Structure 1
């Protein structure tokens, strides 16, 4: 150890305490104990934490918990009990309590998809997304392999232009070359002769911030979900029209399925990457009709992208605004093997999964909610991003835009949609993938916990009634967002990081009204346990 010699031996998950119980009548034993305390004081803080944890009762079980969460950077600690009862007979089928766990708490993964928050859980989320998307392209996970022969397209829909911005070029050309130097109404030039690298801080920032339409971008983000819904509806209408069918009878011949992911550009605007697939009337198990070709689907997609629009709520602050897709539209066929123009299934799935672990930080924004207008001026962000966040805050104060919750989504630059959405028939679900993984849980996880809704594989059914009392135990940097909306006696550990965790397991409990309280700290947990847990978990997760 960096702070001194090794004072704890661990073999096969067992610890050997080195602090003996002194005999009060033995002067030599008392001298040895004092010498041990002197050596401990000479160690570093981390080494002392390791000593206290490794010599505490239940160290073996504690180490199993840390290994079971696979290196989670922000584990969620649960405290409580669950009982599984037969609803008909009242018989207790199983019971589990954290009373027998070290510190009377159980560590579970935070489940955060953001790589900045928890690299380990984000990799797991990324892997689930890869298999979810690939199953809809190649089969597997409950879908037949024949789905690979269906008509499929990879579509990229972009936001419109809100003003000229600096851009990175890969061919050595200037950023914004113009033969004649043009001046905007605010006295700034509208060209840029510099060559920017992709990591240049200027990339994505407007050439003239005063000319940039910040209001239009925020409103577009707030309505991007509605614009996507209208795009999918219009695509189905276009397919029905191209086939000479009424829209109400399209599902009798073909089903149009989608899966899309949102990605932030450097300018802070969201664009969507989507997989569009045509199935037969029975879904993925049936092939589409012969007339449902890739060329027909591409024509319908391009028509739908150009035809749909959304009107923002009228306001005296900005007037009437009509929101549409941008002019840049990329449509490419997906093939099982590369043929020059077609994309491979694995490449598409990997590309989509790449962006689910990222968010507005791609544009240089923050990944936690903004709570006050005064906080915006002190954010460590660029002036462009600060202007977008400030516009979200100002527009969020308008009564006609209150339903958009722009202030709540200011850290996302006004976009409040999920990173990935899909139609029901496209593929499997995250829940099914997690349930399959929970079936192979480690033996160290108690069976009653694995089968409980508190655990990762829990399900609800009519024949079983489960009675739970659960509270979330504080761990560093964790306070659930649900604490402010589901009541109970909640306490915060302080600091901005308390708002940053996405704890899916606890959120599921809260939705059913099962989380009833907050314990402000761990009970009977050795000093420094959380810090050592992060160290051990990081080594295990490599």
Structure 2
């Protein structure tokens, strides 16, 4: 709850902003950020020069902006930090994924005839956890066991509760002392390596099926994919991916006749069973061999039915904006000197973070950078990735949007019309802070009609 002093301070800042002569321009900036919760503050200028004569044609400078800064969207992908910017990222990812399924954005529509599968690679078990599953639409007991054994720590390894979807116990171990926290953290850290080896193994198996040498594979076939990582409530990642077979030049060419959906399925099943990653020995712990879990879901994508292109694109895009929030951890890096008890963390998440911090001190595990990625429970890979030939890029999608915005600015007179080939553009920008002061946060929420964001004091923002 905010204190009386804090509330009074926020109201004073809000009144000062409202009465300032540049309020209208400040409000215009806030609207332009699209309700970003933590807008970036930039200080600098843009000059447009005539290449032939060197004449200055136009200059924009932030000296005349409110507080001397330009506010721009933070463009984070994390919905927990900024829902508005994350929604833009989600929409961009949706179009990127769907273009690789049905064409568009530079991808030919003929791509729909290429063998394409939606797969889910899971993690192995690191101990029994509370879970929720249904049968015939009815929620089943969690872990019902007759004559359930008692673990070495005196806990009965059974749970007959029919958990609701909001039950905070979901994902928690039946016995935290039996649960393999080290294995969970090491799997998360090595999951990107497992994926790389999985993709390489799929290529090798396909080459074998086609009677090709691996070095000749790229001259006959291209393995295109887009994937996203998702955290399970127990704190371990698994991957959802769209995998497509193309000709040697990518989606413009069909794959050879022998490269069918069945051939791809066999290669995926083989690779999921075969690949492993080694976690180095450390302290008194021996070397560990980690692999994918036994559960592998492989399904074809159809234009109509249960698993359509729209459903797959929406599913992947949704998880591209999430991180480990469902586990109960933080969305920012953790200082190893911090007192974890001061954070509102689930016990399970706190133990996973503590395991990362402790293992991060081991010299043999230094390359995994576990302490740096403790807030991600050891996972340091990119959440959403694509192969080069899958479809367009997020950069191209953003460039199209910026080009559209620039054209609109020229049409409305906010920017002069120049011959781009005849104009030299020189930009100078400096980071000057981010976020809103307490008073600005209240006003921004009123302008955009959204709940007031948490204020962030920074250089370039005034109270």
Report the equivalent of 1:175: 142
The CA deviation at 1:118 is: 1.2
Report the equivalent of 1:23: none
- TM (normalized to structure 1)? 0.75
CA spacing shift, 1:445–1:432, aligned 2, 3 Å: farther
Report the equivalent of 2:389: 425
2:347 paired residue among 376, 380, 383: 383
Q: Residues of 1 paired with 2:428 and 2:44: CA distance?
A: 7
Unaligned runs of 5+ residues in structure 1 are: 1-42, 452-458, 478-526
Task: Classify the secondary structure of the residue corresponding to 1:377.
Answer: helix
Of the structure 1 ranges 76-85 and 413-422, higher mean CA displacement relative to structure 2 is found in: 76-85
Q: Residues of 2 paired with 1:416 and 1:343: CA distance?
A: 30
The CA deviation at 1:72 is: 1.1
Determine which structure has greater relative contact order: mean sequence separation of CA pairs < 8 Å that are 6+ residues apart, divided by chain length. Answer: 2
Q: Residues of 2 paired with 1:426 and 1:472: CA distance?
A: 37
Q: Residues of 2 paired with 1:308 and 1:94: CA distance?
A: 58
CA spacing shift, 1:435–1:384, aligned 2, 3 Å: same
The CA deviation at 1:446 is: 5.2
Q: Residues of 1 paired with 2:57 and 2:108: CA distance?
A: 37
Q: Residues of 1 paired with 2:429 and 2:304: CA distance?
A: 53
Q: What is the 5 A alignment of 1:3-42?
A: none
Unaligned runs of 5+ residues in structure 2 are: 1-6, 453-463
Alignment RMSD: 2.8
* Contact 2:231/2:238 (8 A) holds in 1: yes
2:224 paired residue among 257, 267, 270: 257
The CA deviation at 1:211 is: 1.1
1:201 paired residue among 162, 168, 175: 168
The CA deviation at 1:87 is: 8.3
Q: Is 1:313–2:313 an aligned residue pair? A: no
Report the equivalent of 1:287: 254
1:119 paired residue among 83, 99, 103: 83
Report the equivalent of 2:180: 213
* Contact 2:100/2:390 (8 A) holds in 1: yes
The CA deviation at 1:86 is: 7.6
Q: Is 1:532–2:426 an aligned residue pair? A: no
Q: Is 1:102–2:66 an aligned residue pair? A: yes
2:359 paired residue among 395, 409, 416: 395
Of the structure 1 ranges 437-446 and 264-273, higher mean CA displacement relative to structure 2 is found in: 437-446
Report the equivalent of 2:376: 412
* Contact 2:37/2:435 (8 A) holds in 1: no
CA spacing shift, 1:80–1:151, aligned 2, 3 Å: same
Q: Is 1:468–2:428 an aligned residue pair? A: yes
CA spacing shift, 1:87–1:415, aligned 2, 3 Å: farther
The CA deviation at 1:325 is: 0.4
Report the equivalent of 1:224: 191
The CA deviation at 1:179 is: 2.4
CA spacing shift, 1:104–1:258, aligned 2, 3 Å: same
1:164 paired residue among 128, 133, 141: 128
Q: Residues of 2 paired with 1:356 and 1:378: CA distance?
A: 29
Q: Residues of 2 paired with 1:159 and 1:89: CA distance?
A: 63
* Contact 1:73/1:534 (8 A) holds in 2: no
2:270 paired residue among 303, 311, 334: 303
2:239 paired residue among 260, 272, 275: 272
- TM (normalized to structure 2)? 0.88
CA spacing shift, 1:539–1:258, aligned 2, 3 Å: same
1:369 paired residue among 333, 341, 354: 333
* Contact 2:132/2:139 (8 A) holds in 1: no
Aligned pair count?
A: 437
The CA deviation at 1:95 is: 3.3
Residue by residue over 1:479-502, the C-alpha shift from the partner in whole angstroms, topping out at 9 and shown as x without a partner, is: xxxxxxxxxxxxxxxxxxxxxxxx
